[in-house]
């Protein structure tokens, strides 16, 4: 299971989220059909932009609770002061990908960024 974790400013467009996820997949030498989930933190998951991006990517949108985000954060690699101030984690994208992937998930691409969006990829546990 491959999870794209994203963080974004409230004014970000779905187009920018989709474009950065596609860029992340290309950097990881993965095809778009390999992506299973798009994850973000709870306050952002309620925005129509997130749902639209998941729809365009044809993946399941995953809402990550703040507690799960914080629990996954130590496994992340990026430490952004802005993300720490806003959400208490070094990278929303990395923590969301890891949390949605499960406790044994691993980052396969560290956070990348565009003007308003961040994205990271994790390989998650295969659940039956």
- The pLDDT tens digits of the residues spanning 104-120 come to 999 999 999 999 999 99
State pTM to two decimals.
0.92
Write phi, then psi, for 113 (nearest 5 degrees). Answer: -140, 150
% of residues, the chain, pLDDT over 70: 95
Contact 123, 37 (CB under 8 A): no
Rounded to whole angstroms, how far apart are CA atoms 83 and 128?
A: 33
Note the pLDDT tens digit of each residue in 22-32: 999 999 999 99
């Amino acid at each position: 299971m491959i999870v794209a974790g994203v963080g974004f400013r409230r004014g970000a467009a779905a187009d920018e989220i989709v474009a950065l996820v596609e860029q992340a997949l290309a950097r990881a030498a993965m095809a778009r059909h390999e992506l299973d989930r798009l994850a973000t933190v709870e306050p952002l998951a309620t925005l129509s932009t997130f749902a639209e991006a998941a729809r365009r990517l044809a993946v399941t949108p995953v809402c990550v609770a703040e507690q799960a985000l914080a629990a996954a954060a130590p496994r992340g690699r990026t430490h952004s002061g802005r993300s720490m101030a806003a959400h208490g984690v070094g990278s929303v994208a990395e923590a969301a990908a890891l949390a949605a992937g499960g406790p044994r998930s691993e980052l396969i691409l560290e956070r990348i960024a565009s003007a308003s969006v961040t994205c990271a990829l994790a390989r998650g546990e295969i659940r039956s």
